[in-house]
Structure 1
Amino acid sequence: MELSKTNKVLIFNLSLLILNLFNVVSLGLNSLYLLLSAVGTAFIIEFSFAKIRKKELKYLNWLTTPLLFSLFLPGDGALWLAIYGAGFAVLFGKALFGGDEYYLFNPAMVGVVFLAISFPKNMPHLVNELMLVEETMQLLIVFLGALLIGFKIINWKVPVLFLGTFFFLTALGKELGISTLDPLISLQSGFVLLGAFFIASDEVTMAQYPIGKIIYALSLAVLMFIIRSFTSQPDGFPYALLLANAVAPLIDKIEKQENQPIEEVGE
């Protein structure tokens, strides 16, 4: 039985909420305050734009961005980080593009990159040292990701191909001596797993055609490998994701042209 779009969004958001609650248990109450600050900021902006456009605010849809964004904040981060980041994410990453289903870049990643560039000292886990994700969190992300795939809430191709290709590239890079990354630790570090199942799988920002989805996943893996191996960014997922988002429309355009029937021109 195919789930309705509303139920799909509900299950997706519940999965994100579970991950956020795990953060609260692991990192402390400040993570809860950060989450509430992000959600409150997002609501104010989304509600305001809904009123301006005279449209109904879809209470399930607007929650996705702050729930996802909060997972990228440091557990001991200041509340203004959540407010600035969530505000930037929703306003410049989503609302100004037209809202749901119209944005080009993943809004949560827009907010994360904004904070990483503007306030690097306050986002040390993104700009200083690659952190190994707690094992329980890894298992929880994979379990919830598999659940989303099983219920056909996300397309399996993008997360699976992204993770597989990234693992292969890091293993090959280490074997050839061009990279020091350990392939298994690379998958367990930073935001690779979270990004694969909950961000790269965003239907709005990925390529829309079947072959395009494959190219998109491979491109994301290559970009991720390059950034982690040859730049000063220890994690790199938010940057790789936004770059992949940028080329997704081009991938779609090329595949659409390839699939168009060739018109015969009479002499």
Structure 2
Amino acid sequence: MESFKYLQACVVRHGESRNINPNKIVVGDIVEIHRGNRIPADIRIIRAHGLKVDNSSLTGESEPQARRIEYTSDDILETRNLTFFGTFAVEKNLEAIETVGSTTVICADKTGTLTQNQMSVAHMWFDNHIIDCDIDNALARYASLCNTATFKDNPSNRSRPIIQRECEGDASEIAILKYMEAIISNVSHYRSKNAKICEVQFSSSNRYQLSIHSTYDQDERYLLVMKGASKTILKNCATIYVDGCEIEFNKFWKRQYEAAFNELSKKKKKKLNFI
């Protein structure tokens, strides 16, 4: 927890309010959280007024998620009465929180994901090969369109190198946006030519994101693009695109995918791998 030494947590202990190092929080402390605070521990909510938290580093959800006192799901990431270490309170304030669970999770920094909420694309599985992400490929169309991140629109930001530009969106979406900008140069213009008709945003319950677009390629059909958790995507796939051909996504290709997935997970540089 070296990155969080600067943070002080406001707790009520034995009826007295005090500021302490988050590492000193114990079961039974009541933690007070205000807008902009980093959540200092895994906590259960006992009172809230308009509380929302940024869970993008945990679940990939691009929008702040409401939190309240009611238990709403057996999934600990989905239930509304829990929030977790390292996330942020983004709206209004939470007056009091009770019963801090025993914190036994070790948090490891992934190239700034926890400390700066930044990620970058490092590798892809494409045409049955794992490649470094430095060449153009057919995934650009889908990665650019099935993405809700945007660059902040001001002259000073636009003049910066791509990797340094400020963006709106969650960390993984921003990583993909910056990579696509480096490949096709003007993602916003490309998106304008492939207008979005509708979309389903990613959440921790559906585990996927999709959008439907009209296109400029003289094809009267709409284009549906989708990304998400591998198990969710794979069960919706009947074919795979390899070396310019669309072929059946059979048991062989599923094994190839699993091998690539396992290889990418072993990469020492913990950056975003795009499959």
TM over 0.5: no
Instruction: State the TM-score, normalized to the length of structure 2.
Output: 0.26
Structure with higher Rg: it is: 2
User: Is the strand fraction higher in 1 or 2?
Assistant: 2
TM-score by length of 1: 0.27
